[in-house]
Amino acid sequence: MTIKPPAWCVGAVPEMKRGWVDPNSNELLVSSRFTQAQIDEFYGVPSFQTIQDMNQDPIVFALANPNPEIKPELAHKAGAKIVATGRADYPNQINNILVFPGVLKGAIDNRVSTITRKMLVQASINLAKVVTDPTSEKIIPHALDEGVCESIQSAIKS
């Protein structure tokens, strides 16, 4: 059995090639080897070897909590340029704590009863703009950075 990446991530960054692995079968949709497919970013459960087989400077989001699928130190050692996890004790925490306060405040202040995909996409764009000088260690703001809640809140409106 294979799965396709969700529609929202297809073409989000058109110049990048993606690998997607079904966690149930580990069958690759793109290729049996990342080097053949020239993969830049990976969605699934990355291993040290998977990261080594990717293009130079790959991006790895290991978001399982409390233990990421691969430790950031190991991912970097394998060659990952950017690593994000769901944990606050590592750089680039990707966690719902970033958006929940702003979504709730925006919904209450603007009397929004339905949160739409359009609002969430705009919230993502606004959130990305909070980091003015992104680096490999800071691609997304910390939950307590100034402007995070407001950036999300401003996207949640009728």
How many beta carbons lie within 10 A of that of residue 104, not counting itself? Answer: 15
d(C-alpha 9, C-alpha 3), whole Å? 13
In the chain, what percentage of residues exceed pLDDT 90? 49
Residue 61 has pLDDT above 90, yes or no: no
How would you classify residue 81: left for phi > 0, otherwise alpha for psi between -120 and 50, otherwise beta? alpha
Regarding pTM above 0.75, the answer is no
